[in-house]
Chain A
């Protein structure tokens, strides 16, 4: 290790084959200057306890595997540098989803909600052999919501989702927005119907937690308001 620097890493542990309740484990882990939280978790697993369990893949903020509750906020462990956090790092699973083991939550329900908003282009076949024409302005209209990586940081930071787990949640609305405002799509009405349901956009209380949590910088609340406004004005 280049430096003798260390951090206190507090990890929420839960093994369903052994534990009744989650508990905390604290480890003193050596760190290097440019380390991210993911590096520290990996080092703790490699040096101290191979059973520490978390998801990871791309390790640079584009796959969405390692969204975690870190020092009280939902963030990607691979995009957060240790020096931004101080000497104690507290890591817990994303709130509001069932814990599978340690930092791993059950994502199936989250992806089910994503699929429920029909997140795919529906459009009539085009003539000829070329692409559809779309202006730069039309393309810009939904640019922000194409950035979503489905990490669930937003949905699991939302108090409305914690209170009402049936709420479709910000991530699904973002992905509906991406198609509702795409000039090529012909299925906006069906998505607006789905989202005008009691578990749709109306549960948003504009607390902006989602915007703060999003590692991609998407203005999620704005997207939700644009969808609810489209629902209100369509009759």
Chain B
């Protein structure tokens, strides 16, 4: 069989499967290896190329190495930063377990920057405060501005040491269920992997499957995300009856490189960088007088839009300036080397002597596959678990980030819940029998891939992808309203219809990226749809979801998590449900900084 795939299928039995080899997947794999559980890690890249490696500024943990700090403060900041939508039991786990996670990373060899007395050094980061909001605190543990790179390297190194079995450049194209889909009480019993280098199908059966596939920033035109971040895990789960949670909450990071969205880390502001408008004024004074440039990201992104709308963008255009000149050459080159390089390479700007033009860029999904604290995937608002299926990291929604994630908390999330996933999966593997036969489980997706690559004529995937990215940027961005969102829902439905006729040109079975990119476009359309539908239904403004027609937060109606299910047989998604937010220590209050 040609046309993108080969006829032979390989069957592999393991106890646990990890899909994705970023921080969450690698730490889960490490815990599984420690427990002696036979595990397969599948990644469509090589592990060291996962997007965890792009994280720059640091990972927050209340170590208190340079000034007083407490995990309760970190928990509070996370909840307030998330505009009170985070589940507070989850935020407590995040803030508490960040501390041993960071210490364990150091013990695994992570080269953190050090204080003069040899401890892990810490710096300021947006929204992280002392004593429940009094002022910025030094909480972010860092390795220059390549903390994510060092986390990814360190975890992969430890996986090598532990003998973890990797399937590099295997694209997971389907999940396998037995006894019905997730919404019918079914159990996840494995995955279908497509070996990119030769087009063969591999059906892996296991007692526990972890989704650790990251986010879907590529749905937007200007994004900090890698090309590979196409919502694979969210979409595959959705197709099998798992709801997606809080998808309307998508973070725009305030400081992306103009036009292309590459991130200039918040570390620049953590070290003392300014944001300036066309008048040379530190405009955050108007919006967040206490925290200024270290206010949470959603507020700064809105402030930038506001400045631009009122004509105070640089030269009247749609960007503002990030200014680090006053920090001096030594700080810039030693503490911010990578982002200095980015500004030089991608903009031709010298940050030591010039301010850097920046604008908001699509960055991070607060929403995703709903899970409980043990990373078990949830089937509904009542907390029923989908047996055999787990999720951790950006793909998941626990929810720790609520309506807006604080800087560095993505790394904290993937460390804490990646580890928890491995521990929980190991327990399940020891107490559960192997699922039944998965013979023939690849047939449905094989037919879908064949349809893509044998259609004689049709639209190129790139055209639909470009339209989708523009639509999401214009209509499902920093500011939203009913008209924009309604047009987005309709536009995505139209693009989905066109996608049914998409055609790939490459008909080979070796490294067919044309075919896989077309497949990924289908995932992007799913996640974009879930986002737009959820955003349309939430008639309030909270965190990153900012409705100009409903500018206030409405706790009476919307202090709740959105769940959205995929429509049946290609129909648009219409089924939504809401589940209450878990409140333990902090009653919702107005959010001012």
Contacts and interface: CB of A to CB of B under 8 A. Distances in A.
B45 A57 contact: yes
Interface string A150-189: 1000000000000000000000000000010010110000
A7 to B, nearest CB: 18
B191 to A, nearest CB: 21
Contact of B149 (A123, A134, A149): A149
Contact of B114 (A62, A136, A182): A136
B9 interface: no
A45 B460 CA distance: 11
A16 B347 CA distance: 39
B110 to A, nearest CB: 9
B36 interface: no
Contact of B511 (A57, A104, A123, A147): A104
Interface string B93-137: 000000010010011110111101111100000000000000000
A115 B160 contact: yes
B510 A101 contact: yes
A126 B107 contact: yes
Given A65-B45, A100-B510, A149 B227 contact: no
Interface residues of A, number: 60
Contacts of A60: 54, 262, 342, 346
A81 B260 CA distance: 13
A124 to B, nearest CB: 10
Contacts of A139: 111-114
Contact of A57 (B51, B100, B161): B51
- Interface size band for B: 35 or more
Given A56-B227, A115-B160, A143 B49 contact: no
A81 B168 CA distance: 30
Contacts of B186: none
Of A62, A65, A130, chain B has the most CB atoms within 10 Å of the CB of A62
Closest 8 CB pairs of A and B: A121-B109, A50-B505, A120-B157, A133-B118, A46-B462, A51-B506, A63-B49, A50-B514
A131 B2 CA distance: 54
A102 B197 CA distance: 12
B143 interface: yes
Given A104-B511, A123-B107, 18 more contacts: A17-B509, A17-B510, A58-B53, A58-B226, A59-B227, A63-B45, A63-B50, A63-B226, A65-B46, A115-B160, A131-B120, A133-B118, A134-B114, A135-B118, A139-B113, A146-B111, A146-B153, A182-B109
Interface in B36-60: 45-46, 48-51, 53-54
Interface in B154-194: 154, 157-158, 160-161, 168
Interface of B: 2, 45-46, 48-51, 53-54, 100, 103, 106-109, 111-114, 116-120, 143-144, 146, 149-150, 153-154, 157-158, 160-161, 168, 197, 226-228, 259-260, 262, 338, 341-342, 345-347, 460, 462, 504-506, 508-514
Contacts of B54: 58, 60, 62-63
Contact of B150 (A46, A100, A118, A146): A146
A43 B107 CA distance: 45
Contacts of A34: 259-260, 346-347
A81 B342 CA distance: 12
A172 to B, nearest CB: 13
A56 to B, nearest CB: 5
Interface of A: 15-18, 34, 36, 45-46, 49-51, 53-54, 56-65, 79, 81, 100-102, 104, 106-108, 111, 115, 118-123, 126, 129-136, 139, 142-143, 146-147, 149-150, 179, 182, 184-185
Contacts of B117: 133
Given A34-B346, A62-B54, A51 B514 contact: yes
Contacts of B53: 58, 62-63, 149
A147 B147 CA distance: 11
B118 A134 contact: yes
Nearest to B55: A62
A235 to B, nearest CB: 27
Of B113, B143, B511, B512, chain A has the most CB atoms within 10 Å of the CB of B511
B510 A65 contact: no
Main SS of the interface on chain A? loop
Of B342, B347, B514, chain A has the most CB atoms within 10 Å of the CB of B514
A53 B119 contact: no
B460 A50 contact: yes
A218 to B, nearest CB: 12
A95 B373 CA distance: 48
Contacts of B228: 57
15 contacts: A46-B460, A49-B505, A59-B227, A62-B146, A62-B338, A106-B197, A119-B157, A122-B161, A130-B103, A130-B119, A139-B111, A139-B113, A139-B114, A143-B111, A185-B109
A179 B160 CA distance: 15
Contacts of A115: 160
A59 B505 CA distance: 24
A85 B460 CA distance: 30
Contact of A142 (B2, B111, B504): B111
